[in-house]
Structure 1
């Protein structure tokens, strides 16, 4: 990787862009627009400000043949708060590792995929029309961009997602579906000493449901249920009136997702004097390895072999991505095409510098050969 390219990527990492900072995300979108200057790429910018988010970019290039396009997808929002690069995760190069917030998830993969997209556009070598969707909200479940992803995805021949590679470069061909729910338990407050029997303890009721929800985990079927936070009560000597907790579920099949959704939305209080309110839904549908996905993977595997590296598919991944949406509507989808590395969402996040050139070449060749 040449030093000018590395300097450009370092600029990307220095431009911190957590989802909840639209100004930071839009600085990233500005960098993408600048990156496309001089190339035959049509840029559409959709304001995210009315939704409290950064903007969305839709880049179009390639032959105007009317054929179904190849859809590429990257997100430029991260989970790290502003200031992380100057404190807890300083940007640095250690051997073949580039450390910094968002380098692995997923600025490294987005950057080199945009480079491949631009090169193919300039060369006029695309196999079919190209659409590159750059989003500001993936880390919070893509509430703004999911309809765009599904609309473009329905009309696309293939979807390529630049989320990071897994475990030393493995590509992603299947992901679990993700569900998110919020549970509110409302009891009756009372003095913990003089009026204890008059109270209805919301924390006690919630605890029983937390145990039941966690017990829904079934590793053999690829089902996990997690209550990762809980809040309730006002003082140590008050019977708590309120308790709230979120629920995260991961499933391998649509049927399991619907079954768990029904179970969690249908929670009933053990005490009739207590009220339970549940909101939420399946956030991302399962991404299954269909025949179309398998064919696409084998094509990519052959291209990688020509380039000089072995492309291996990871086992089904537990985390979701925007690839879940395109796969669920039947568009053959390849994910994990981004940079190799590790530490997503942690203060040890890094990308492997030497993985960039071969994976950029793979992306370029996919855009030139997918018929």
Structure 2
């Protein structure tokens, strides 16, 4: 069955999670569903065999949500298969990875049943909100990884086949401004425009991002990416607006620059008297810089037949 599972589509992701849970149970796993309004996160544990019993588990990580809205299959991005290659919404990121995980579990069970291999326990987590920064699954991911010997993400590798052993930090911020409403013609001096205030605040943010980009250029491979995702400023032309919100997206490769930028933005103060500014982290994943252990694990995986 073809399933479309955009982030936040609770019913669609629940049906997909139920199908995964049934599959993992059939492969010998103990499955726990962690409900959220956007659909459940799936955690499954598979016991070790032989000499691997009692060892620390290896964690396999995936996600069920995609960026494609429901209806994409019937529109511009249909399901296709030529017997070798499959295409469709979410095939690359990341349902192909979920298929590889299932295939590995099938092979592991078959080899174990035949007495041909001992193996350590395997733990799987499939989250429902990765595409928006894991706001409800972040803590669960940390708890699930606790005590594991290694963690492997099953999103597809780079197009050239290279495995990822590092990742840009990703942070989504809400910049909210409160002003004071007033009639723009009768008593404008009584008002404080949230729309004007948020424009000035966004200019500050752009300056912070630009200065961080210059600092990053001084370090090899360092990177800062900034995107103004949306501005919501409801109001009328004859009324001084009293609220406005912008959603900001940042990506960093350097943890020090990341910390400096976020501290500076979260310390923003109003330009106008009586205006208020609040910055909220909607999601946060810190920069992951590769270590020797990451490189060693990637070498092991690359060398597997």
User: Does the TM-score normalized on the shorter chain lie above 0.5?
Assistant: yes
Per-residue deviation, 1:104: 1.1
Per-residue deviation, 1:282: 6.0
Residue in 2 that maps onto 1:154:
146
Q: Does 1:57 align with 2:43?
A: yes
In 2, Cα distance between equivalents of 1:213 and 1:94: 48
Checking the alignment, whether the CA contact within 8 Å between 1:216 and 1:225 is kept in structure 2 is: no
Checking the alignment, whether the CA contact within 8 Å between 2:180 and 2:240 is kept in structure 1 is: yes
Checking the alignment, whether the CA contact within 8 Å between 1:178 and 1:285 is kept in structure 2 is: yes
In 2, Cα distance between equivalents of 1:205 and 1:143: 28
Per-residue deviation, 1:127: 3.5
- What pairs with 1:63-142 in structure 2 (closer than 5 Å)? 63=49, 65-93=53-81, 97-124=85-112, 125=117, 127-142=119-134
Residue in 1 that maps onto 2:239:
238
Per-residue deviation, 1:19: 2.7
Residue in 2 that maps onto 1:345:
none
Checking the alignment, whether the CA contact within 8 Å between 2:5 and 2:70 is kept in structure 1 is: yes
Q: Does 1:210 align with 2:198?
A: no
- Give deviations 1:341-363, integer Å, cap 9, x for gaps: xxxxxxxxxxxxxxxxxxxxxxx
| C-alpha spacing 1:189/1:222, structure 2 compared with 1 (3 Å) | same
Q: Does 1:26 align with 2:22?
A: no
206-215 or 137-146: bigger deviation: 137-146
Per-residue deviation, 1:78: 1.6
- What pairs with 1:1-371 in structure 2 (closer than 5 Å)? 11=1, 14-36=2-24, 39=27, 41-49=28-36, 51-63=37-49, 65-93=53-81, 97-124=85-112, 125=117, 127-217=119-209, 218=213, 220=217, 221-280=222-281, 283-303=284-304, 307=305
Aligned residues: 290
182-191 or 283-292: bigger deviation: 182-191
Checking the alignment, whether the CA contact within 8 Å between 1:214 and 1:226 is kept in structure 2 is: no
Determine which structure has greater relative contact order: mean sequence separation of CA pairs < 8 Å that are 6+ residues apart, divided by chain length. Answer: 1
Q: Over the residues paired in the alignment, what is the CA RMSD in angstroms?
A: 2.3
| C-alpha spacing 1:94/1:185, structure 2 compared with 1 (3 Å) | farther
Checking the alignment, whether the CA contact within 8 Å between 2:125 and 2:144 is kept in structure 1 is: no
Q: With structure 2 as the length reference, what TM-score do the two structures score?
A: 0.86
Unaligned ranges ≥5, structure 1: 1-10, 308-371
Checking the alignment, whether the CA contact within 8 Å between 2:33 and 2:40 is kept in structure 1 is: no
Instruction: Determine helix, strand or coil for the equivalent of 2:284.
Output: strand
Unaligned ranges ≥5, structure 2: none
In 1, Cα distance between equivalents of 2:263 and 2:24: 46
Which consecutive segments of 4 or more residues in structure 1 shift more than 6 A? none
Checking the alignment, whether the CA contact within 8 Å between 2:133 and 2:171 is kept in structure 1 is: no
Checking the alignment, whether the CA contact within 8 Å between 2:133 and 2:170 is kept in structure 1 is: no
Per-residue deviation, 1:109: 1.1
| C-alpha spacing 1:25/1:197, structure 2 compared with 1 (3 Å) | same
Q: With structure 1 as the length reference, what TM-score do the two structures score?
A: 0.71
In 2, Cα distance between equivalents of 1:227 and 1:260: 15
In 1, Cα distance between equivalents of 2:148 and 2:25: 25
In 1, Cα distance between equivalents of 2:16 and 2:150: 26
